[in-house]
């Protein structure tokens, strides 16, 4: 038999779902973060409804007059749903959609933080009641958590999508050795136990 090495490239035979970018994508836990985004969106909408029912509209802060819990909550639910779908179906279009929706949700969460901060400064520094201040504080905390989640999910999505190449080259070296050829090997290549 011939002792020349045979080099085989398996880059075309690798399953795309097992590529390294997709493995990095799963390190970001898109399923858990997507479910958390959905829950935060639902809770934001529920607290917005509670605020609309419990307190007259004329005494609402800018945060509630602009219906911030509703439009941010809807965006959080959409981005969370796309994240869950991307984690269950790891295809590049879903990962790209997840990246776009999480960037949009990051901008919405940043806007929500700014609006809530302005409402705190100009409206909630005067005592208005524990319900109003409590709901506003809970929604502010949810918005900060959502901001952190969307940034981390978008970062892992970007690490997956923003690459020059997706092909991984795996090199396998086969070397056929017969017992006759093993005798003629240099001393450095022989098994140390048999030498």
**pLDDT band with cut points at 50, 70 and 90 for residue 14:** very low
pLDDT for 12 = 39
- Domain spans of the chain, in order of start: 1-15+176-195, 20-165
Q: Please state, in angstroms and rounded to a whole number, the distance separating the CA atoms of residues 11 and 171.
A: 8
pLDDT digits (tens, 9 = 90+) for 79-121: 999 999 988 887 888 888 999 999 999 999 999 999 888 887 7
- Per the prediction, the chain carries an average pLDDT of 76
Identify the CA nearest to 144 among candidates 26, 30, 44.
Answer: 44
Residue 124 burial by CB count (10 A; 0-12/13-18/19+): exposed, middle or buried? middle
Q: Is the pLDDT of residue 184 over 70?
A: no
Per DSSP, which regions of 51-126 are E strands? Answer: none
pLDDT for 148 = 95
The tally of CA atoms less than 13 A away on the side-chain side of residue 58 is 0
pLDDT digits (tens, 9 = 90+) for 126-152: 655 566 777 888 889 999 999 999 999
Are the C-beta atoms of 55 and 26 separated by less than 8 Å? no
Q: Please state, in angstroms and rounded to a whole number, the distance separating the CA atoms of residues 131 and 184.
A: 88
pLDDT for 51 = 82
Are the C-beta atoms of 6 and 173 separated by less than 8 Å? yes
pLDDT digits (tens, 9 = 90+) for 30-55: 888 899 999 999 999 999 888 888 77
């Amino acid at each position: 038999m011939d002792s020349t090495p045979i080099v085989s490239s398996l880059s075309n035979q690798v399953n795309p779902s097992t590529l390294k970018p997709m493995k990095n994508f799963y390190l970001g836990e898109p399923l858990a973060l997507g479910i958390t985004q959905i829950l935060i969106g639902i809770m934001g909408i529920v607290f917005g409804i509670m605020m609309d029912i419990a307190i007259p509209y004329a005494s609402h802060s800018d945060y509630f007059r602009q219906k911030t819990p509703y439009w941010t909550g809807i965006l959080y639910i959409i981005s969370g749903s796309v994240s869950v779908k991307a984690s269950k179906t790891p295809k590049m279009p879903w990962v790209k959609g997840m990246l776009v929706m999480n960037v949009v949700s990051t901008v919405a969460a940043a806007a929500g933080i700014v609006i809530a901060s302005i409402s705190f400064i100009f409206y909630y520094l005067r005592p208005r009641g524990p319900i109003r201040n409590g709901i506003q504080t809970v929604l502010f905390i949810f918005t900060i958590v959502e901001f952190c989640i969307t940034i981390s999910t978008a970062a892992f999505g970007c690490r997956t999508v923003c690459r020059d190449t997706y092909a991984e080259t795996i090199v396998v070296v086969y070397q056929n050795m017969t017992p006759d050829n093993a005798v003629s090997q240099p001393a450095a290549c022989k098994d140390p136990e048999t030498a």
